[in-house]
Chains A and B, each alone.
Chain A
Amino acid sequence: MTTTPVLEAIDETLETQGRPPLNVIYEWLTTVDHKKIGLMYIVYALIFLVIAGFEAILMRIQLAIPNNHFVSPQVFNQLFTMHGTTMVFFMGMPILFGMGNYLVPLMIGARDMAFPRLNAFSFWISAFAGLLLYFSYIGGSGLYAAGSAPDVGWFAYAPLTSKVFSPGHSTDYWTLAVFLSGVGSIGTALNIVTTILCMRCKGMKMSRMPLLPWLYLVMSGLVFVAVSPLTAAQIMLTLDRYLGAHFFDTQAGGSAILWMHFFWIFGHPEVYVLVLPAFAFANEIIPVFSRKAMFGYPAMVAASVSIGFISLSVWAHHMFTAGLGPAGNTFFVFATMVISVPTGIKIFNWLATIWGGKIIFAVPMMFMIAFLFQFLIAGLTGIMLSAAPFNWQLSASYFVVAHFHYVLVGAIVFSLFSAFYFWYPKVTGRMMSETLGKWHFWLFLIGFHLTFDFMHVPGILGMPRRIYTYEAGRGWDTLNFIVGVGAIFQAAGTLVLVYNMIHSYYKGKEAGHDPWDAWTLEWSVPSPPPSYNFAIEPTVSSRRPLWDIKHPEDPDADYE
């Protein structure tokens, strides 16, 4: 694709190669380019992935044998609080926002996000929030009490967070960090929605938009309605702690249940905020490696939108043991079970996309296949948990830990890894090593199953979550030991990925525009894409513009 002289001139002024390092840093710090911001989100999230993963390993060492004294109870409680908070707010959300930031404008044929400066602001405030959370290790109760990170759990149930039960400032670090990350998330969500609604290229009707932007649209809508109550709850909690308000302060008559409602009105849609982008990657990658169009595009859109809506009415399935009574419980059982219908439609449509294709087992597709099986299992254990009386036994047990890690790691992280291998050539212009990719895949897959398959069983045998130790003779010991070994495999796999990303950046094979023979707009521009993405704004006439170019005899538009 040729560039116009004006854009070439802009490119030259933005060109950073061969300039002193300080200027390069300045360029990144001040950039408003959606691709650079996307990459910064991803790098920042990967750093937190390694930190939170390290916290997980420490916890698994502590729990590998009964009555272990590897860490103290206080330290263990801080570890699971920091692990959960980091993984959700400083790994999961940023990495998915980063991917969206990078891909959405490219896929809809736009030159940047709608509000580039807001985009930069959202990134930097989220990054600051992450630093603030970890600063609690130094500042939680002043420098003399180093090591006072929050220990109230990522769910921070009232009234454990009130001043009486959580003196010092560690809980305030948690509150402020989550609050600020929420501000950043809402900013980015606003940006994504505006970009998708207003900046699609010529010919791209909503019904022609690739599924990835569709899912990011639903995800961003959920961020508004889910993160806002959480932000409100953080403000209320701070008022409780500092200005004597009594929203959640039960010692003064406040309500612990109120916090649960606020938290899970955020917390449940949040699962879908995280998983919808994973679906988005699957929707783009599975067709390419099956060499087929996505089966049932309208059904996929409808399923995604209805998942978005239904997910707003299921939060109290986290509260089946809070004594809501039979009427409340049955309502939330129904809402929760119903969500399995649109989710099932998605799995069946992916299956139908593969059916009759020519499946290429490249590394991105390997991760996607694992994603399909694991997401299926995660969904089925979700149905088990939605049956309230079964849930009375399983909630707050290790079965739940296994279930949601199947969603968060088995589905989301596997899909994300697949997306890394798939879009890395677009971002860097070089292919990632397939050999290292396979090492990564197998190490992580084995580790994942050792860890999370075996974790279901202690839950059934009565092991609650969030305990720093347990006594022998409950039947939990061997299982926890295996879980610990699995965690180490996963860590090894992740390190191979990080090595692969760095190694391939310098040594990888040249990728060219379109290494996977794919069909969406981002593959029409050079790798890496220039600033402002498209020299000439593209025009599309079908869902798969590059298919039309590659197969003029059988254009896509005829079937829409």
Chain B
Amino acid sequence: MSLIAGTAFAQSPTNIFDPAGTPARSAFGLSMLVLSITLAIFLIVAGLLLYALIRFRHRSTDSNREPAQIYGSNQIELSWTVIPILIVVTLFLTTTRVILGTEAIPKPASAMDVTIIGHQFWWEYRYPKSGVVTANELHVPISDPASPTPTYLTMSSADVSHSFWVPRLAGKMDLIPNRVNTMWIDPEATGLYLGQCAQYCGTQHAKMLLRVYAQSPQDFAAWIEQQNKPAQQEFPGNAAATEGQAVFMKNACINCHTVKGTVATGRFGPDLTHLASRDTIASGPIQNTPENLRKWVEDPNTMKPGSLMPAMHLNDHDLDVITAYLSQLH
């Protein structure tokens, strides 16, 4: 068992015992304490049980007399009441310290803010200070102890409950309609951190994946600047994209999707202003390639059954040009 588990631990990008941020690290520290206490209790009690089972098993050579009947002992029973109480108090105080250290510390002035809105079955990210709106792929700066820039996540939901869980950065927090929850993350190294929705939210709960890109402050600033630009409007020398843009604006696409700087201002689906700058579509499970985009627009339900985007019933030509347009939205 340990061999199989060990291999799995080594290769998993979502291992909670491989923390890469403060909240996940303090949970990890507490976990190790709890694990060692419970392991010690297990070894002692299971050892005693095993010993009793072997030592006091009925042997064929035994006499037929019943063993001595013992009805109880106040001293012994008191001891195994008091000792567990002491263990519980220790554990409780340690746990409380970690809870307060995560949930009740003041927000530093240098903190970044992101508002997360959960949707069936995707994530909306809004950066209130810069006005950037994006979907499914969260970009945050890394934070180092010298100049801490933790990211404060303010969360709610537009429909049913969801839960934000990127195990290497922090424990999960639910996104609940009519309610605002907060949590913070401070990834300490650049890279991609994976996770997924942890609260059952309907048919495609399984494919509501999370991708957090932790970037150096410079890269992050550049990303913000690029995301802040309106969408590209002119496609010189690319007739397909130009035509695709017209097809997009004439269809129901604009009721649900926003493309900044155009008539498309829908809020129900993900913001597509910089769609082509994302690695994946459909909140994680599908690589963002022109072929996949085309298949997705043709009929989202074949790729992600239960997805709320309807099939647009476009002809092959329109599908081709829309794909050409969407692929240009860098």
Contact = CB atoms under 8 A, between A and B. Distances in A.
Contacts of A165: 120, 159-160, 202
B15 A475 contact: yes
B30 A250 contact: no
Nearest to B181: A323
Contact of B80 (A291, A345, A357, A460): A345
B14 A474 contact: yes
B57 A473 contact: no
A559 interface: yes
A74 interface: yes
Contact of A341 (B66, B73, B88): B88
A330 B95 CA distance: 8
A452 B77 CA distance: 32
Contact of B58 (A251, A360, A397, A556): A360
A159 interface: yes
B284 to A, nearest CB: 9
Contact of B172 (A297, A351, A393): A393
Interface stretch (B5-13, B211-219, B268-276): B5-13
A15 to B, nearest CB: 39
Contacts of B31: 384, 387, 390, 393
Given A160-B200, A376-B42, A330 B172 contact: no
B203 interface: yes
B62 A471 contact: no
Interface of B is mostly: mixed
Q: Kindly state the interface size class of chain B when it binds its partner.
A: 35 or more
B81 A157 contact: no
Contacts of B326: none
Interface stretch (B161-169, B234-242, B251-259): B161-169
B263 interface: no
Contacts of B295: none
A463 B206 CA distance: 10
A492 interface: no
A153 B66 contact: no
A295 B67 CA distance: 13
Contacts of B179: 256-257, 323
Interface string B177-195: 1110110000000000011
A362 to B, nearest CB: 10
Contacts of A257: 176, 179
A351 B69 contact: no
B67 A356 contact: yes
B95 A159 contact: no
A297 B72 CA distance: 7
B16 interface: yes
Nearest to B197: A464
Interface in B224-249: none
Interface in B21-51: 23-24, 26-27, 30-31, 34-35, 37-38, 41-42, 45-46, 48-49
Contacts of B103: 325-326, 329
A355 B5 CA distance: 36
B198 interface: yes
Contacts of B170: 392
B100 interface: yes
A478 B4 contact: yes
Nearest to A295: B72
Interface string A115-143: 00000000000000000000000000000
A479 B4 contact: yes
A305 interface: no
Given A73-B206, A325-B103, A476 B8 contact: yes
Contacts of A77: 200, 202-203, 205
B261 interface: no
A313 interface: no
A296 B72 contact: yes
B99 interface: yes
Given A347-B45, A358-B56, A393-B171, A462 B88 contact: no
A355 to B, nearest CB: 5
Contact of B163 (A291, A297, A321): A321
A25 interface: no
Given A326-B99, A376-B46, A467-B205, A479 B8 contact: yes
B131 to A, nearest CB: 26
Contacts of A560: 71
Contact of A299 (B57, B72, B159, B201): B72
A333 B92 contact: yes
Contacts of B111: none
B109 interface: no
Contacts of B176: 256-257, 322-323
18 contacts: A73-B203, A151-B203, A321-B173, A323-B179, A358-B66, A359-B52, A376-B42, A380-B38, A387-B95, A389-B26, A393-B171, A461-B9, A462-B14, A466-B200, A474-B13, A475-B9, A559-B69, A559-B71
8 pairs of A and B residues whose beta carbons are closest in the complex: A392-B171, A462-B14, A475-B12, A323-B181, A467-B206, A475-B8, A250-B177, A380-B38
